[in-house]
Amino acid sequence: MFPFSGGSRAIGLQGGTFGFKDQPVYTVEQPDGSGSVYSVSESFLGLTFAQNFSDRFSAGITAKGIFDNLGEASGRAFAIDFGTNFHASLSGHPVKFSFVLANLGTNLSYSGNALDVATPRDPIPGEQDVPQNPQPFQLRTKSFNLPTSFRVGLAYDLITGESNRLALIGDFNQPNNNGAGFGVGGEWMSQKLGGSPFGFAVRGSYSYTAANNLSPADPSTTALSDEENLQGLAFGGGLNFAKETFNIGVDYAWKYLGVLGGTNFFSVSLGW
């Protein structure tokens, strides 16, 4: 982010990518592999503008391009994210409220060489079948909506001190391709340990995602035997160093993702 106008406005750039490459190609005619490989990548690039409208209310909007490559087929879409943030005081403790509308944009459709195919010509009834060149044609793909979602969040500092804070967090989300979900969590943060510039945080949460439960024929052969008890559970923590305007932090989180099992997350933050 790049602030300007005395810090009341800011612009920012963001980008991300995910994918894999050199995966073998299997077909019905060649179930052991055709000898060729394919790659997949999903990327986005966005431009953000945010503004403080008062000392308590701010809002921002992001315009982004989405680029999806599946082998020799590719698709593109344009989307907008919009969000607001409001903070005040309740019973002498900070409270924050925000909402985000994400991925509101055009449909995604595919094109490329993978859709160019050829088929043999059918022989003319009553005439002798003779060798012919295949008839070229192009497959057409059906476009589909981006995974648009609406999310509302609320945070309340149950304990607020000069160097310590206990925050409770709640979240409600409604995607266009699933039922509504929610999440609850908490964070204990302590800063300036022993008068030093070091601090730490401990976090825990539980999230619920609708229509995310599976019923396999034999649960003992999958990672689903404890899914009902652990799915959506997460915990983690982090260390922080802050001195004057410079700060750096390292965070870790573990989350159970149902059929995917336990997953680890690592992040590093840097600010000045």
- What tokens appear for 205 in the block? 């949460």
Q: How far is CA 45 from CA 11, 48, 142, in A?
A: 14, 10, 24
Q: Is the pTM of this model over 0.85?
A: no
| Main-chain dihedrals φ then ψ at residue 202, nearest 5 degrees | -125, 135
Which structure tokens are listed for 31? 């179930």
- What ranges in 39-148 are assigned the alpha helix state H? none
**143: number of CA atoms within 13 Å, CB side?**
11
Residues in the chain: 272
135 vs 103, residue with greater confidence: 103
Confidence band, pLDDT 50/70/90 cuts, at residue 212? low
Mean pLDDT of 219-231: 58
Handedness of CA 225, 228, 232, 237 (dihedral sign): negative
Residue 228 has pLDDT above 60, yes or no: no
Residue 219 DSSP one-character state: G
pLDDT band at 225 (very low <50, low <70, confident <90, very high): low
| Domain at 45-113+146-271: CATH code | 2.40.160
Assign 217 a pLDDT band (cuts: 50, 70, 90): low
* Segments of the chain assigned E as strands: 2-4, 9-24, 37-52, 57-70, 73-90, 93-105, 109-112, 116-119, 135-138, 149-160, 164-175, 181-190, 198-208, 233-243, 246-256, 262-271
Mean pLDDT of 18-34: 88
Q: In which residue are the tokens 């401990």 written?
A: 202
Q: What is the pLDDT of residues 163-205, one digit of tens each?
A: 899 999 999 999 998 889 999 999 999 988 888 899 999 999 9
Task: Give the pLDDT of residue 195.
Answer: 85
pLDDT reading at 223 higher than 80: no
Where do the domains of the chain lie?
Answer: 45-113+146-271
